[in-house]
């Protein structure tokens, strides 16, 4: 604590220009918080995993996100050599944006087998990824999948009616653009390299990376100047649940 | 409780049903306290737990694979815990799978829930 902070702590009633705002917190212990701890403790006691293993995977989960994937595509748009590398050796290209797919165990995560391919969109072909079986996703480079990606509704429908599902995300593709749905699995992960949009001439890597959102890398959106956020979709229950 | 061969959603786990009914979900809590984080603070720990289980439980006697875990989560999320949002449904489904497989006894889970809550409220 600095001298300044120390004094501040003892002078709560004066006006000053260095407001310290404390973000609000949930000041209540919830059943779910308690359940997560209880479950974890029991798993460790029963030897399902160790506390060290849990910490390793939790740290991994805390540091992953879509930033390296956006950076990879932005760099590929600017550098033809890097683009070639990304499309021929996606693991090597990942390393150049700080992602080692062997982390955190030396063999990748349990559900992220070390086989990764980047799918290039062209004016004639649009790619979109799914995991029809469960929710396989290129987590090391793209972070955790969004909730809708995990739902049976998306998984089942995107492979059957891709154009209809894409239109629900606001992406309507011309009929002469072929849509390819790539099904991820435990042995292979994919990510989309979208086309660089018009209106981005002269942009830096940082500027380009900002518009390459997670949704663009899944293939349910196209990079658009001025758009830096993902689409928010309401997760709807399946009309015909799997029980039927 | 070991219910091998029985669809997990056909089994009632009272302790978890009560938690689901009480509905202290993150969206409700975040609204109540004006918190902006989109996911609860325990989410990454849950992710760590799922990864650790996927790594260690698929090949042993338990035979609880990544696909089993996700299939059961999907089934439970549209049946028993249909009113819970994500990721609360993911957490409760994992607990449900472990109880119905006999890995964790429900009475033991209830005792531990009480003990953890007492500790956090101390």
Mean pLDDT by groups of 10 residues along chain A of 244 residues = 42 51 85 98 96 95 94 98 98 95 79 83 98 90 92 92 95 97 88 98 97 97 92 62 51
More confident residue, B4 or A170: A170
Query: Which one of A23, A39, A144, A150 makes the best mutation probe of the B interface by having the most chain B beta carbons within 10 Å?
Result: A39
* Residues of A designated catalytic: 131, 134-136
8 Å CB contact of B86 and A24? no
State residue A19's pLDDT score: 57
Closest CB to B52: pick one of A30, A34, A54: A54
pLDDT per residue over B80-106, tens digit each? 999 999 999 999 999 999 999 999 999
Our CA angle for A119, A120, A121, nearest 5°, is: 120
Considering only alpha carbons, which residue of chain A is nearest residue B17?
A: A31
Closest CB to A25: pick one of B19, B33, B113: B33
8 Å CB contact of A32 and B40? yes
8 Å CB contact of B112 and A53? no
Predicted TM-score (pTM) above 0.95: no
State residue A20's pLDDT score: 64
Residues 6 or more apart whose CB falls under 8 angstroms from that of A226 comprise A211
State residue A58's pLDDT score: 96
State residue B5's pLDDT score: 72
Taking the CA of residue A99 as centre, how many other CA atoms within 13 Å lie in the half-sphere pointing to its CB? 29
pLDDT per residue over B35-77, tens digit each? 988 899 999 999 999 999 998 877 667 778 888 999 999 999 9
Residues 6 or more apart whose CB falls under 8 angstroms from that of A106 comprise none
Q: Is the pLDDT of residue B11 over 80?
A: yes
Q: What is the mean pLDDT of chain B?
A: 91
Considering only alpha carbons, which residue of chain B is nearest residue A54?
A: B48
Query: Which one of A38, A51, A244 makes the best mutation probe of the B interface by having the most chain B beta carbons within 10 Å?
Result: A38
Q: Give alpha helix (H) positions in chain B.
A: 14-22, 26-33, 43-57, 66-77, 88-100, 106-121
8 Å CB contact of B116 and A27? no
Residues in B touching A28 (Cβ below 8 Å): 24, 29, 32-33
- DSSP, residue by residue, chain A: --HHHHHHHT-TTS--S---PPPP---S--HHHHHHHHHHHHHHHTTSS-HHHHHHHHHHHHH--SHHHHHHHHHHHH-HHHHHHHHH-HHHHHHHTT--TTTTTSS--TT--S-EEEEEP-SSEEEEEE-SSS----HHHH-SPPHHHHSHHHHHHHHH-HHHHHHHTT----TTSEEEEEE-BTTBEEEEEPPPPTT-TT--HHHHHHH--HHHHHTSS---TT--SPPP------SS-TT-
Residues in A touching B55 (Cβ below 8 Å): 49, 53, 57, 105, 110
Q: Is A118 exposed, middle or buried (0-12, 13-18, 19+ CB in 10 A)?
A: buried
Q: Could you say which DSSP state residue B34 is in?
A: T
Written as six digits, the tokens of B22 are: 């009480």
A35 min Cα distance to partner chain B (Å)? 6
Phi, psi of B14 (to 5 degrees): -55, -45
């Amino acid at each position: 604590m600095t001298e300044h902070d120390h004094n501040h702590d003892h002078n709560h009633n004066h006006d000053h220009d260095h407001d310290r705002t404390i973000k609000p917190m949930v000041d209540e212990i919830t059943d779910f918080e308690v359940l997560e701890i209880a479950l974890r403790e029991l798993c460790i006691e029963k030897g399902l995993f160790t506390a060290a293993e849990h910490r390793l995977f939790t740290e991994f989960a805390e540091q992953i996100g879509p930033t390296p994937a956006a950076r990879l595509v932005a760099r590929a748009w600017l550098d033809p050599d890097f683009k070639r590398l990304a499309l021929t050796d996606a693991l090597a290209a990942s390393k150049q944006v700080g992602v080692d797919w062997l982390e955190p165990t030396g063999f990748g995560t349990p559900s992220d087998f070390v086989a990764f391919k980047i799918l290039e969109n062209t004016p004639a072909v649009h790619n979109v990824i799914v995991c029809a079986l469960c929710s396989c996703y290129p987590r090391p480079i793209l972070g955790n999948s969004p909730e809708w990606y995990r739902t049976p509704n998306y998984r089942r429908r995107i492979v059957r009616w891709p154009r209809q599902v894409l239109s629900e995300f606001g992406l309507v593709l011309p009929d002469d653009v072929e849509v390819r749905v790539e099904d991820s699995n435990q042995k292979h992960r994919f990510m989309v390299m979208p086309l660089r949009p018009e209106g981005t001439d002269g942009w830096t890597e940082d500027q380009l990376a900002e518009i390459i959102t997670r949704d663009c890398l899944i293939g349910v959106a196209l990079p658009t100047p001025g758009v830096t956020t993902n689409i928010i979709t309401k997760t709807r229950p399946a009309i015909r649940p799997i029980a039927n | 409780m070991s219910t091998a061969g029985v669809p997990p959603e056909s089994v009632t786990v009272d302790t978890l049903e009560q938690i689901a009914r009480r509905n202290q979900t993150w969206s409700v809590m975040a609204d109540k306290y004006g918190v902006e984080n989109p996911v609860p603070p325990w989410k990454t720990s849950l992710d760590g737990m799922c990864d650790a289980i996927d790594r260690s439980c698929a090949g042993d006697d338990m035979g609880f694979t990544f696909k089993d875990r996700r299939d059961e989560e999907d089934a439970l999320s549209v049946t028993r815990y249909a009113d819970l949002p994500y990721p609360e449904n993911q957490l409760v489904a994992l607990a449900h799978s472990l109880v119905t497989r006999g890995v964790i006894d429900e009475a033991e889970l209830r005792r531990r829930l009480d003990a953890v809550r007492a500790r956090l409220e101390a």
